[in-house]
Amino acid sequence: MSLVILDYGIGNLRSVQKAFEKVGTPALITSDPQRVAEATHVVLPGVGAFCDCMDKFTAARLAEPVLEHLQQDKPFLGICVGMQMLLTTGHENGSHAGLGIFEGEVVRFPTVAGYKVPHMGWNQARVTNEQPFWKELPHPAWYYFVHSYYCVPKDRSLIALETDYMEPFCSALQRGRLLATQFHPEKSQQAGLELLRQFVRM
């Protein structure tokens, strides 16, 4: 197998790479579209604003090999903004087009007394579907979050995990071997490492 972490000018790449190394899998950080096209597993991290990530991703010419990877149902993992970018539209600093893999929107948490935005720190995620991938993991499990926006897919059957903050929100998506998490597995200690280990086995 060959696992690549997409480098399109955003941070957090080395911590993701180190997490995969901890579960015994070497991961290549690359911006080379050819290396992405040849990979068996692709990871799309994301840190910062939705529009900035989309602009940098497009400029890096990675959309075409990623879309081909997804069309072949090869294992793919989006993390944080890397999950949000899979949807149709993000509403951070205006409305901006995403990759459109899933129809839906990325919206901001409302202002509610007693809750801080961004949602930051440890929170539980519970399984909401019957996909075998999640049955192999402990649940509900605690994961580490840092975000002000969250995904609202039009097709709720895509929601794999939900987390409560103000109200339930989508904390993971899945379709086939495409996975995406709003939380950071690489920062989520044992639960996150188990998720990455399971992803590698796909």
| Cβ-based neighbours of 147, under 8 Å, separated by 6 or more | 80, 118, 119, 120, 182
Catalytic residue selected from 41, 96, 119, 184: 184
Contacts of range 25-30, beta carbons closer than 8 Å, 24 or more positions apart: 25/1, 25/196, 25/200, 27/3, 28/2, 28/3, 28/4, 29/4, 29/5, 30/4, 30/5, 30/6
Cα distance between residue 181 and residue 134, in whole Å: 12
Annotation marks residue 184 as catalytic: yes
Annotated catalytic residue within 41, 69, 80, 92: 80
Active site residue 80: yes
Residues taking part in catalysis? 80, 184, 186
